């Protein structure tokens, strides 16, 4: 059983938020760099100078798109006493690891579940996800409760040093992601996934969240589940050049690490995944489909703890993975945006209890 993740409250302007993040999580930020800088060398075949040069290219793109997020990254670097280029690099870790290696590193992580109001007992939308990633990364995860000047209050779960991953904000926007790899991943410099997800969480309206995703220049493929507490959720399977929408069926949507869109499949972008992605997606629906209309948080927890296909199950356990970095479920989270709560379990949820995390202040709006 893993200890609960540390929860850090950060507030102020963009730089002050980054500085607080960096100071509070300094040891974990250092560990993040210890994990990823060698991984970039192994997988992307880049030396340290090459990594930092690539990071400077991304930093230019980030600054042009969102100067506040770049200032926050600079604050993280200052607070943790690390080089700005190295913190930028870990915020581009998917783009560096997978962006120029299409077909050589298939997508191996994460299962997402969405139950719309018509599918739940409470009549409120629920979103669950198991975050599967490299085993060592369970020790660098942190939870941030952010109150940034001029932005919505939000809570999110990240690897220390990163500005975005999965989270929700006071206006009812939820973002969850899954790794996708496509033949369009050819090293294009674009907006890194953590920056995109963080910008989505800065949205006050649902349409802003969607526009942020589909109108941003992207450097890597990915899956983005964007939901709203008003009871709407759409899954977007994106590549650097395309975006494909996938909608819930009978109020239920499940997703793993392959493209579901028939349009995406017909283009040929959809062939880079491992076999377990196909049954994790199906298994989650199989468990919840009979309960449509009465799904509870406990039902979603049970699905996220499921071991069919062990060790490559929805609840993923450490195992040898020839040709790939070993992965496991490093975190499980369930979002209840109507009540403003994110429940988080550290490591495999079959071995850990969920801890409730609220927004940094009990503020909400009815914006849609």
pLDDT tens string 100-142: 544 456 656 799 999 999 999 999 999 999 999 999 999 999 9
Q: Which of 185-189, 214-218, 346-350 has the highest mean pLDDT?
A: 346-350
Between the alpha carbon of residue 172 and those of residues 68, 175, 313, 364, the distances in Å are 22, 10, 30, 8
Query: 321 pLDDT band (50/70/90 cuts)?
Result: confident
Is residue 222 a contact partner of residue 234, using CB atoms and an 8 Å limit?
no
Q: Rounded to whole angstroms, how far apart are CA atoms 168 and 344?
A: 13
Mean pLDDT across the stretch 330-342? Answer: 98
* Contact between residue 280 and residue 315 where contact means Cβ atoms under 8 Å apart: no
Q: Which of 128, 65, 112 is nearest to 91 (CA)?
A: 65
103-358 belongs to which CATH class?
alpha beta
The token pair at 313 is 């199950």
Mean pLDDT over 337-364 rounds to: 91
pLDDT at 177 over 60: yes
Q: Mean pLDDT of all residues in the chain?
A: 92
CA–CA dist 39, 60 (Å, integer): 23
Q: What is the pLDDT of residue 82?
A: 98
- What is the Cα–Cα distance from 115 to 297, expressed in whole angstroms? 10
Q: Is the pLDDT of residue 224 over 70?
A: yes
Query: For position 103, what pLDDT does the model report?
Result: 41
Q: Tokens in use for 319?
A: 């195992």
Q: Token digits for 171?
A: 């206006």
* pLDDT in the model for residue 273: 82
| Spatial CA neighbour of 96 closest among 149, 50, 147, 148 | 50
pLDDT band, residue 43 (cuts 50/70/90): confident
Band of pLDDT at residue 368, cut at 50, 70 and 90:
very low
> What pLDDT is recorded for position 366?
37
- What pLDDT does residue 237 have? 96
CA distance 185 to 121: 41
Phi, psi for 291 (deg, rounded to 5): -105, 5
Spatial separation of the C-alpha atoms in residues 218 and 93, rounded to whole Å: 14
Q: Both tokens of residue 232? A: 């709407």
User: How confident is the model over 66-71, as a mean pLDDT?
Assistant: 97
Distance CA 258, CA 308 (A): 18
Top-ranked range on mean pLDDT: pick from 20-29, 56-65, 213-222: 20-29
Decide if pLDDT at 356 tops 60. yes
Q: What is the pLDDT of residues 268-298, one digit of tens each?
A: 676 678 889 999 999 999 999 999 999 999 9
Where in the chain does DSSP place strands (E)? 7-12, 111-115, 126-134, 141-148, 154-159, 166-169, 173-178, 222-228, 232-238, 243-246, 252-255, 327-336, 341-346, 355-358
Percent of the chain scoring above 70 in pLDDT: 94
The average pLDDT across 181-203 equals: 88
Residue 362 is predicted with a pLDDT of 46
Among 72, 89, 87, residue whose Cα is nearest residue 30: 87
pTM greater than the 0.85 cutoff: yes
């Amino acid at each position: 059983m893993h200890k609960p993740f540390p929860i850090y409250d950060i507030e102020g302007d963009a730089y002050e938020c980054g500085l607080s993040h960096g100071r509070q999580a300094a040891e974990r930020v250092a560990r993040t760099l210890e994990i990823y800088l060698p991984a970039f060398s192994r997988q992307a075949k880049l030396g340290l100078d090459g990594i930092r040069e690539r990071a400077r290219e991304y930093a230019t793109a980030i600054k042009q798109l969102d100067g506040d997020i770049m200032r926050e990254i600079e604050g993280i670097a200052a607070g943790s006493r690390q080089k700005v280029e190295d913190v930028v690099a870990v915020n581009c870790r998917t783009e560096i690891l997978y962006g120029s290696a299409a077909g050589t590193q298939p997508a191996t992580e994460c299962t997402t579940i969405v139950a719309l109001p018509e599918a739940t007992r409470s009549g409120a939308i629920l979103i669950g996800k198991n975050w599967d990633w490299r085993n060592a990364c369970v020790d660098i995860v942190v939870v941030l409760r952010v109150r940034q000047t001029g932005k919505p209050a939000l809570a999110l779960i990240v690897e220390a040093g990163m500005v975005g991953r999965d989270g929700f904000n006071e206006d009812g926007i939820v973002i969850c992601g899954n790794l996708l790899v496509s033949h369009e991943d050819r090293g294009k410099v674009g907006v890194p996934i953590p920056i995109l997800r963080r910008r989505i969480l800065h949205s006050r309206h649902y349409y802003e969240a969607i526009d942020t995703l589909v109108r941003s220049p992207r450097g890597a493929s990915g899956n983005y589940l964007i939901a709203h507490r008003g009871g709407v959720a759409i899954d977007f399977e994106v590549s650097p050049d395309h975006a494909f929408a996938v909608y819930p069926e009978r109020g239920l949507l499940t997703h793993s690490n392959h493209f579901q869109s028939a349009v995406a499949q017909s283009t040929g972008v959809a062939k880079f995944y491992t076999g377990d992605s196909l049954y994790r997606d199906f298994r989650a629906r199989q468990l919840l489909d009979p309960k449509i209309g009465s799904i509870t948080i406990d039902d979603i927890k049970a699905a996220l703890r499921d071991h069919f296909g062990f060790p490559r199950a929805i609840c993923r356990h450490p195992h040898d993975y020839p040709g790939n970095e070993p992965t496991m479920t490093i975190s499980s989270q369930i979002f209840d945006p109507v009540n403003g709560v994110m429940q988080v379990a550290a490591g495999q949820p079959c071995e850990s209890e969920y801890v409730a995390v609220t927004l940094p202040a009990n503020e909400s709006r009815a914006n849609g």
